[in-house]
Chains A and B, each alone.
Chain A
Amino acid sequence: MIKILAITACTAGIAHTYIAREKLENAAKEMGDFIKVETQGSIGVENELKPEEIREADIILIAADIRVNKDRFMGKAVVEIPISMIMKSPKGVISKIHQKLGK
């Protein structure tokens, strides 16, 4: 079990952002991992990641087609992927993270 913090953001910021969030949450649940997903849609940031959560996270997963500010994640392990990867293969992404982290 790993602690994943994720951010999703798509171009229009109204659809993919939220679909990806759901997919990630379901995939992580199935694989027994903890996940919290912050969405950066057109409306702004929702479900914001808190500093103490970031401190405890094993990995920061950024699934975005647009720029996401990474200043908060100094010193953390960060993975950046296009959001389409989550649309196609949420579990594949998470298991690859497991493999890379060696957990």
Chain B
Amino acid sequence: MAGQKFNVKKHVMTGISYMIPIVVCGGILCALAKGFGGYNIGSAVEAGATPFSNLNPFTWSGFWWGVNKLGSVAMDFAVAVMTAGVAYSIAGRPGIVPGIVIGYCSAQSKAGFLGGLLMAFIIGAFVNWMKTWKLPKWCEGLMPVMIIPVISTFICGMIFLCLFAIPLSIIMNVFQKWIVSLNGGAKAVIGGVIGACMGFDMGGPVNKTASMAANALGADGIYGPMAAKIIGGMTPPIGIFIATLIKKNKFSKVELETAKTAFPMGLCFITEGVLPFAAADPVRVIPSCMIGSALAGAIAVGMGCESVAGHGGIFVVPMMKNPVWFLIALIAGSAVTGIIYGLLKKPGTEDGEEKETDLDIDLDIQIQ
């Protein structure tokens, strides 16, 4: 398989596709726990020798503390799963172990998503290089179970800790301080920026980076960006659904069906619902989504909306600060996305029998 072109996007997308379920799982469990158990459910149970020492799941708060714990553990592992996924995509199975270990370190050291992504490529390249080593027969069997996992985790892990962990966490820290220093109109701007990032690639790296930034700020007690993050992720699928309502004849049957599933996904804050549209027509979908999300984020944060819950979409709105403005911003942003995309969308791919686009296809048939 040598000589195959190195496809960065494919590797990142593989990692993201493994991460989506764990982020959704963690986010919704945390939101549920905070909804039923209260904002401070995370500290309802005192840690003893282990975090679970004083566990009592048969009381109301003990039960929801447990749910919250499950969710927060899932969130802690999100970057690790993404890193392992990207490393796996580049280097196959041997990428998983160093990916999980170093990805988890990246999350814990606050180097976050960026650190994980960067390290995944380093791990992938390193493991691929290790696979070319010529070893004597007797230790070939040791390669996958011992030599690769130990050496790749050791070398790549120490590269991360020595070179990247501290600078990356400082960058994240400076970024946080800067956001805290903003107020008033500037707040609306930051809401708009986070919203736009969220709408940019629907669950892709930019979106997740913005989420991670908002999550990190939330951890420091700054909850405005969290509201922008949630709203910026909710408007794209809802907006596309609105576009299919107002310009029905411009969409094919398949697209109309897909949009129907995008709407509930939007309400649940699963931006990925819009991916089928974004992948097919990125030039028009992405700007429409970014404008709508930015507007929604700016209105929400500018009007003082704050969300403690990091996920949960429409279900956590009642627990937010200024929920009414959140809903107004959500409707306004979605409508703007819907109207813009409705106008931009090119008709033509009519029912069932879609016209074939004449692509200049060139296929590369390879014998494996």
Give the residue among A12, A65, A77 with the most B Cβ atoms within 10 A: A12
Total residues of chain A contacting the partner, CB 8 A: 40
* Interface residue ranges, A against B (CB under 8 Å): 10-16, 19, 22, 42, 59, 64-67, 69-70, 73-81, 83-85, 87-93, 96-97, 100-101
Assess whether B16 is in contact with A11, with CB atoms less than 8 Å apart: yes
**Docked complex Cα distance between A85 and B361 (Å):** 8
Q: Which of B1-28 contact A (CB under 8 A)?
A: 1, 9-11, 13-14, 16-17, 20-21
B205 to chain A, nearest CB (A): 11
Q: Is B163 positioned at the interface, with any CB of A under 8 Å from its CB?
A: no
Give the residue among A42, A67, A75, A93 with the most B Cβ atoms within 10 A: A67
Selected A-B contacts with CB under 8 Å, 15 pairs: A13-B17, A19-B254, A19-B258, A67-B14, A67-B88, A69-B92, A75-B368, A76-B368, A78-B366, A88-B280, A88-B357, A89-B357, A89-B359, A92-B357, A100-B363
**Docked complex Cα distance between A42 and B23 (Å):** 14
Q: Which of these, A11, A15, A75, A92, contacts B361 with CB under 8 Å?
A: A92
Q: Is B89 positioned at the interface, with any CB of A under 8 Å from its CB?
A: yes
B357 to chain A, nearest CB (A): 4
Residues of A within 8 A of B306 (CB): none
Residues of A within 8 A of B88 (CB): 67
A66 in contact with B368 given A15-B258, A87-B280, A92-B356 (CB within 8 Å): no
Residues of B within 8 A of A13 (CB): 17
Assess whether B356 is in contact with A96, with CB atoms less than 8 Å apart: no
Q: Is B276 positioned at the interface, with any CB of A under 8 Å from its CB?
A: yes
Assess whether A88 is in contact with B365, with CB atoms less than 8 Å apart: no
**Docked complex Cα distance between A28 and B133 (Å):** 44
Residues of A within 8 A of B1 (CB): 70
Assess whether A79 is in contact with B365, with CB atoms less than 8 Å apart: yes
Residues of B within 8 A of A69 (CB): 92
A49 to chain B, nearest CB (A): 14
* Chain B interface SS verdict (over half): helix
Q: Which of B311-368 contact A (CB under 8 A)?
A: 356-359, 361-368
Q: Which of these, A11, A84, A92, contacts B13 with CB under 8 Å?
A: A11
Give the residue among B9, B89, B279, B364 with the most A Cβ atoms within 10 A: B279
B355 to chain A, nearest CB (A): 10
Residues of B within 8 A of A96 (CB): 361-363
B242 to chain A, nearest CB (A): 18
Assess whether B364 is in contact with A80, with CB atoms less than 8 Å apart: yes
Proximity bits, B229-240, A CB within 8 Å = 1, else 0: 000000000000
Give the residue among A59, A74, A91, A92 with the most B Cβ atoms within 10 A: A92
**Docked complex Cα distance between A16 and B13 (Å):** 14
Total residues of chain B contacting the partner, CB 8 A: 34
**Docked complex Cα distance between A13 and B273 (Å):** 11
Assess whether B365 is in contact with A59, with CB atoms less than 8 Å apart: yes
B314 to chain A, nearest CB (A): 19
B207 to chain A, nearest CB (A): 12
Task: Using CB atoms, name the residue of chain B closest to A84.
Answer: B279
Task: Using CB atoms, name the residue of chain A closest to B361.
Answer: A96
**Docked complex Cα distance between A73 and B1 (Å):** 12
Assess whether A16 is in contact with B275, with CB atoms less than 8 Å apart: yes
Residues of A within 8 A of B13 (CB): 11, 65-66
Assess whether B10 is in contact with A66, with CB atoms less than 8 Å apart: yes
Assess whether B364 is in contact with A79, with CB atoms less than 8 Å apart: yes
A70 to chain B, nearest CB (A): 6
* Known pairs A11-B16, A79-B366, A89-B359 / 14 extra A-B pairs, C-beta < 8 Å: A10-B275, A10-B279, A15-B275, A16-B276, A42-B20, A42-B21, A75-B367, A78-B365, A79-B365, A85-B359, A89-B356, A92-B356, A92-B357, A101-B365
**Docked complex Cα distance between A65 and B279 (Å):** 10
Assess whether B356 is in contact with A91, with CB atoms less than 8 Å apart: yes
Q: Is B56 positioned at the interface, with any CB of A under 8 Å from its CB?
A: no
A97 to chain B, nearest CB (A): 6
A89 in contact with B11 given A19-B254, A80-B364 (CB within 8 Å): no
B96 to chain A, nearest CB (A): 12
Residues of A within 8 A of B292 (CB): none
Q: Is B203 positioned at the interface, with any CB of A under 8 Å from its CB?
A: yes
**Docked complex Cα distance between A96 and B364 (Å):** 10
**Docked complex Cα distance between A96 and B143 (Å):** 41
Residues of A within 8 A of B279 (CB): 10-11, 16, 65, 83-84, 87
